[in-house]
Amino acid sequence: MVFTARATSGTFAPAGAETAAAVTGRRRGCRILGSGGQYTTTGAFPGAAAGVGVGVGAGGGAGGGGRAGRRRTVPRHHSWKWIGAAGLVLALGACGGPQGEVRSDTPPPRATALRADAQARLDQGDVAGACRQLEAAIAIAPDDADAWNSLGLAQQAGGDVGAAQRSFEQAIRLAPRGYQAHLNLAVLLMRRGVSGRARTEFEQAVEARPGDPLPYWNFAAALLDVGQPEQARELLQTALGLDPRNGPAHAEMARVESRAGRSGAALAQFAAAESLGVATPVFWANHGLELLNAGDYAAAEVRLLRATALDSTRAATWNHLGVARLRQGQMPGALVALRRARGLAPEDEDIRYNLGSALVRSGQFAAAASLLSAPRPARADLLALCGMALRGDGRTVAAVPLLAEAARKAPGDVNVLNNYGVVLAETGDLPGALAAWRRVLEIDPTNRFARDNLAARGGR
């Protein structure tokens, strides 16, 4: 799930920057306030550092893959939140002993080739193909703990966490001192809520790799993902005590600081991780989102572009890129990014709202109305935005019922109420308009839009 929050974007017709709809409103004695007044950002990415899957090549350095996000919603008007989800990168390594250790039970060449092909398939997003190749490798070498560990990673990447757990457990039975399988199982169990056994597996991984920061920051990421940021902080402090230049640990600490609302500290940790070479798409997406939240839109755009260059399949990244461009007034680029996001997640209502807002702000009212009206939205902000798009397209009568429903659903939203008053006035219902604007001033006595609209219409 993705945590959803909304970033203040200013009014529909901010001082000194009128839209076409605002100009029309002023001719009629009305000023238009934004229907919702906010942009929505969807999807903070988990795992700012390297992937959780552990093996040779997926250690505590700067490399490794990202993890996939899940969706969750939190109330609007809050700062962006972080989440994490189970998602791993296939890492084929020596499960039975320390990384790089020469083992006497080397699998047959055919099994090794199948595992290499599985890695390539997973890199290309072919999880099912990777699983098939690993199962074939295991059929040739059933005692290969590395193959079982890698199969668990691939299965978890495909969402089959039950099968992944069984594969990790088999790897541990074959190589009880294999820290990768212990750690991967610990992370999986923590995310499944089996915290006691997860900690036991984590301790086994630490015992097998004393002095290595990798188990600490990997397990910290899982703790953070299940809502235990202070416990995560303790482990990350241990990891950074072992290696102050561990980039992934700094990246995960950035997530902890962001969760605590300490944006400056989070950005400092992101900068440290970036300087140490962390460069996964998830890291760039998280860093970009924190910069966006901090109001540094140009820097956010740079990081989000890097994220899309490495992984163009994440709707949330395109959405955040669109918001960053909107904040800089780059309407054509914003529309490109938001359309990409919409194409990847056509059911996401937050992305629909953002794209509709960009179309309205670009004066493309008919396109905005088409986007926002089908299917008919249930949310108040979408209803209100659709109504204002219809008004901008010259269909004010059709806008009235949408804004009326939005006002019923969001009776305390001064933006919706103000715009409802505008369309009522424009369709001849002056008493209803005056009542709407008076209600705005009851909620917010300083609201200049409602105050000016009342004065222009002879209300008090």
Residue 8, domain CATH: 1.25.40.10
Q: Which amino acid is at 341?
A: A
Domain-embedded: residue 210 = yes
Residues 130, 234, single domain; the answer is yes
Q: How many domains is the chain partitioned into structurally?
A: 2
Give residue 432's pLDDT: 96
What is the rounded CA–CA span in Å between residue 91 and residue 428?
Answer: 68
Among 93-102, 142-151, 330-339, which stretch is predicted with the lowest mean pLDDT? 93-102
Q: Which residues pair with 38 in a beta bridge?
A: 8
Which whole number is the average pLDDT over 54-66?
30
By C-alpha distance, which of 202, 252, 212 is closest to 229? 252
pLDDT band (50, 70, 90) for residue 459? low
Sign of the C-alpha dihedral computed for residues 235, 236, 238 and 243 taken in this order: positive
Q: Measured between alpha carbons, how far is 451 from 334 in angstroms, rounded to an integer?
A: 33
Q: What percent of the chain has pLDDT over 90?
A: 73
Among residues 242, 262, 282, the one where a domain terminates is: 282
User: Is 300 inside any structural domain?
Assistant: no
Query: And the tokens for 101?
Result: 């250790």
Residue 385 has pLDDT above 90, yes or no: yes
pLDDT band for 105, please (50, 70, 90 cuts): low
Could you tell me the residue range of the domain that residue 369 belongs to? 1-39+363-460
103: left (phi over 0), alpha (psi -120 to 50) or beta: beta
pLDDT in tens, 446-456: 999 999 999 99
**What are the residues whose beta carbons fall under 8 Å from the beta carbon of 310, sequence distance 6 or more?**
279, 280, 281, 284
Token representation of residue 163? 């099968």
Residue 242 in contact with residue 212, Cβ under 8 Å?
yes
Q: Are residues 35 and 51 in the same domain?
A: no
Residue 347 has pLDDT above 60, yes or no: yes
105 and 219 in a common domain: yes
Q: How many residues does the chain have?
A: 460
Better pLDDT: 268 or 225: 268
**Average pLDDT estimate for 79-100:** 29
Identify whether residues 153 and 274 lie together within a single domain: yes
pLDDT per residue over 197-213, tens digit each?
Answer: 999 999 999 999 889 99
* Amino acid at residue number 214: L
pLDDT digits (tens, 9 = 90+) for 297-341: 999 999 999 999 999 999 999 999 999 999 999 999 999 999 999
Q: What is the pLDDT of residue 123?
A: 84
In a shared domain, residues 33 and 2: yes
pLDDT tier at 108 (50, 70, 90 boundaries)? very high
Domain boundary among 261, 282, 303: 282
In this structure, the answer to whether residues 35 and 74 fall within a common structural domain is no
pLDDT band at 386 (very low <50, low <70, confident <90, very high): very high
Residue 283: the pLDDT is 96
Please tell me which residue, 438 or 61, carries the higher pLDDT value. Answer: 438
For residues 182 and 276, membership in a common domain is answered with yes
| 444 has a pLDDT exceeding 50 | yes
Q: Inter-axis angle of helices 179-191 and 161-174, to 10 degrees?
A: 150
**CA 304, CA 337: separation in Å to the nearest integer?**
11
> Is residue 346 in some structural domain?
no
The beta strands (E) that lie in 108-219 are given as: none
**CB proximity list for 128: less than 8 A, separation 6 or greater:** 158
255 and 194 co-located in one domain:
yes
Are residues 101 and 248 located together in one domain of the fold? yes
